[in-house]
Structure formats: C-alpha cells, structure tokens
Amino acid sequence: MSVAAMPKDVSRPDSGNNKTLVEINGLRRVFDLSKPWLNRLIEGGGKVTLTAVDGVDFAIREGETYALVGESGSGKSTIAKMTVGLLRPSAGSVTIGGTDVWGSKDAEGMRAMRRQIQMIFQDPFASLNPRWRVRAIIEEPIKAFDLISDAKDRGERVGELLSLVGLDPRDGQKFPHEFSGGQRQRIAIARALASNPRFIVCDEPTSALDVSVQAQVLNLLRDLQERLGLTYLFISHNLAVVRHVATRVGVLYLGRLVEEAPARELFASPQHPYTKMLLEAVPDIEMGGSERQSIAGEIPNPVNPPPGCHFHPRCPQAMDHCSRDIPPVYHVGAANVRCHLFGDAKRSAR
C-alpha cells in the first residue's frame, strides 16, 4: 500500500485511556543454534546462540494500537509469539490484565486471561484448517473456552461473527479454499473475535493480501476496535500501513527497541537515525521524480551482532563510543530514544 493511497495525516489519536492492559518488561529471547553435543566434541566448535529479542520494554494502554516496526529479522514476530504465550521468553515478563502470561500459577486466572488474547496471522490460508468448514473454524474458540454449550446457539453466534466482518452467515458452510485472500483474512478475524477478546496481536495481517484489499481489512480492524473496545499489538514492516492504524509506534532494530513515540510525533519528527532512514525510504507521491535515499547496508547477522549500538555500522552519525557502549534510553520530547547522540547533546549543553 502506497502513502499516496491514504490521507497525509491519518495516524490514530491517543485513546485517552491511561489504564495499561499489556506490560512487557525486560523481554529477551535467545535461540540455541549449536550442533548436538557429540558433533561439537568430534568436529570442534562451541555453542552458537542467536539473540532475537534483547531487553525490550513497552506498555500498551486499553483501546490503543501499538505498532512494532522494523526490517525483517528485527524480532517483531518473536515478540508477538511471546506475548500471546506461543514462545517462552529466555528472560523478562509479559503481563496482560494483571496476569503474568509466563509466571502465574493460578490455573483459573490463566484460562480467563488466555480467553482475552487472540492472534491474527500473516497468511490467512496457512492459518485456516483447509479440511474444516468455516463454521467449525470460527466456533472452535467458543468450544475451547466453553462459552456456548448449545450447538444451535453456537451456529447463530458464528453467523453473527461472519456478518460482523462483512461476510454472509451462509458462508459458514464453505471451505477456506472457496474464498479470496481478503475474505479468508476476514474469516481469521472472525475466529479471533469468537472468544470475546480484549487484546489481539496482528502479525502483519495485510502483507499477504493484494494492495486493493489491504485498506478494506485495515478499515475493518479500526471499525471493530471502536465498536468492541479492542486493544491491538500491530506488527508490520510497512510504515504506510502503520501510519494509517497506529496510536503509538515502537521501532525495533536487531532485537532492541531504538525509538518509541506517539505515531503523530514519530512520523512528523523522528529522532533516531534508523527511524529517519526508514521513513526516508517510504515512497511518497509528493516527491515526484526525486530520488529517495535507501537504507544503507543490510541488517547484520544476529548470531554475531555488532558490539555497542547495533546500528552503528550503518549509521551516518556514528561516533567512536557507539561501537563500544550500548546506549541508554533518553527522553526526547514525547519520544524514548536509545541513541548516544542525545547523551552527547546533553553533555554539550552543560
């Protein structure tokens, strides 16, 4: 989806609700890529690890859309899976509605919490069981959480959900292959709504769709949010899409959150050099035939990341200590920025 297809200033206003629904603290995930012990003993070599997420902190307030953006390999989908309980973190915590997703021992509380969270996946065809009819797909969460016991009432609820996402209740008798990509994603959204969730993780929900239907699905998600009071964690690499839906934005680079700000402020005045480069690379019809600056270099191998600030090999403003020291988080206006430039600016001001 191009920026030209949307109004220039379409980022979501702040929800006005200061109550925090989701808290992510010190989230870290390390994958062990080592060969088996016996192979290492015979062939030599030590352990090989990949740090996909490295100490990420953020919070999501009720009713808002928090977007995570970054290049492929930045850790966006790994965070999404840890947030909904599909992947255990190596360190840190995820708290949703006051319940620790990974640390609580209250089985009843955990079940109630898990009913309140759902996920919409990137590829709607891969996420829907091709051997099940649409009705069975949508009513599965209703059965799993014992929400409606009567089969007739479940069928009526499935019809309501299909209507809610813009499909015909009679579509429940069809199979996923009988629908277009956009319609299949609507079915996935209906399934996510079946358990009456408060929080939905949208993992690149439009990237597998044709450009012509992306805006329709995004508008549907916004309408459902306003109607049902939903809270979204929106994962995307497409800044044009993020600009359309987000209340606040977190920018990830090689597993670290390098900038976080309200969407309007971030798009109007980005602070981190990486954020500026991402925005500079977004096509804009108002640029006419002007040449856009692409992002220099490629994201480093996460198995062997650069020391200090991970971004320093690609940063046009890198300084000597960027390659040695991990930058702390600085508060710059409404943004939180992890960059040595702002620490040096403070020292110079003194």
pLDDT in tens, 251-300: 999 999 999 999 999 999 999 999 999 898 776 645 445 555 556 677 88
Q: Is residue 131 part of a domain?
A: no
Strand intervals (E) in the chain: 20-32, 49-61, 65-69, 91-96, 99-100, 117-120, 199-203, 231-236, 248-253, 256-262, 329-332, 335-338
Instruction: Judge residue 42's burial from the number of C-beta atoms within 10 Å of its C-beta, 0-12 exposed, 13-18 middle, 19 or more buried.
Output: exposed
Using DSSP, state whether 276 is helix, strand or coil. helix
Domain of residue 312: give its range.
20-116+197-349
Domain-located, residue 262: yes
Please tell me the total count of domains within the chain: 1
Q: What is the CATH number of the domain that holds 335?
A: 3.40.50.300
Q: Are 248 and 59 in contact (CB under 8 A)?
A: no
- The residues facing 202 across adjacent strands are 120, 234
The pLDDT, as a whole number, for residue 210 is 83
Q: Is residue 328 part of a domain?
A: yes
The confidence band for 196, taking pLDDT boundaries of 50, 70 and 90, is very high
Q: What is the 3-state secondary structure (H, E, C) of 42-82?
A: HHCCCCCEEEEEEEEEEEEECCCEEEEECCCCCCHHHHHHH
In a domain, 160, yes or no: no
Q: Is 248 part of a structural domain of the chain? A: yes
User: pLDDT tens digit string along 147-175?
Assistant: 999 999 999 999 999 999 999 999 999 99
Any domain includes 227: yes
- Residue 232 within any structural domain of the chain: yes
- Does residue 324 form part of some domain? yes
The string of DSSP letters for 125-152 reads: HHHS-TTS-HHHHHHHHHHHTT----HH
